[in-house]
């Protein structure tokens, strides 16, 4: 007949058992993990392997932080990227750059020309060993209306985006590389 048993997490599980079947001995819990022995022996899945160089052949050896400016307004001025207050590079639209940072926490900031009227953005980045981090610079600079009814919308920022094949392909398709320090 049907029997309801409780799994390791306490959720009811319906087992279909033939009428003439014998009851199997319960699986013993492992004292270290309190999980059934079979579950304790399964290794955790390996994280997916991501190789940014597959899409970004210009990526410098050892670089683990990539900056992207696909379409940040105002487009007439470059956005200056600073790491802990030190200038890395100024990049224009449709450009990307990369650098190498040791594991740790950094303040990443962007600044714009005073003439642009744009305010900069800040982001706290924690660099992790063996990982490539992607940061995108965004911005808007729009004027709407006419006469006394003019309205200005401005703002910018910087933030981390997903590090995966799709992001690397997006950068490869839209942007050209600019070495840091230029």
Question: Which DSSP state fits 11?
Answer: -
- Mean pLDDT value across the chain: 76
Model pTM score: 0.66
pLDDT at position 8 is: 47
pLDDT at 173 over 60: yes
Taking the C-alpha atoms of residue 30 and residue 134, their distance in angstroms, rounded to an integer, is 42
In order of their start, the domains of the chain are 58-177 (2.60.34)
Q: What is the rounded CA–CA span in Å between residue 19 and residue 39? A: 28
pLDDT in tens, 50-97: 677 777 878 888 888 999 988 878 777 888 999 999 999 999 999 999
Cα separation, 54 vs 46, in Å, equals 20
pLDDT at 47 (0 to 100): 53
Nearest residue to 21 via CA among 5, 35, 2, 47? 2
Give CA angle at 7 (5, 11), nearest 5°: 85
pLDDT at 123: 93
pLDDT at 101: 94
């Amino acid at each position: 007949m049907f029997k309801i048993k409780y799994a390791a997490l306490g959720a009811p599980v319906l087992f279909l058992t033939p009428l003439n079947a014998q009851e199997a001995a319960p699986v013993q819990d492992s004292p270290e993990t309190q999980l059934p022995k079979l579950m304790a022996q399964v290794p955790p899945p390996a994280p997916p392997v991501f190789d940014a160089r597959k899409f970004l052949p210009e990526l410098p050896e050892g670089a683990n932080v990539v900056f992207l400016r696909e379409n940040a307004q105002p487009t007439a001025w470059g956005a200056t990227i600073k790491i802990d207050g030190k200038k890395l590079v100024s990049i224009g639209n449709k450009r990307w750059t990369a650098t190498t940072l040791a594991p740790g926490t950094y303040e990443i900031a962007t600044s714009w020309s005073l003439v642009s009227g744009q305010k900069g953005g800040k982001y706290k980045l924690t660099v992790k060993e063996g990982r490539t981090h992607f940061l995108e610079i965004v911005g808007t600079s729009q004027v709407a209306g006419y006469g006394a009814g003019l309205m200005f919308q401005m703002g910018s920022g910087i933030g981390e985006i997903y590090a995966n094949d799709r992001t690397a392909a997006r950068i490869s398709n839209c942007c050209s590389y600019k070495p840091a320090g230029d």
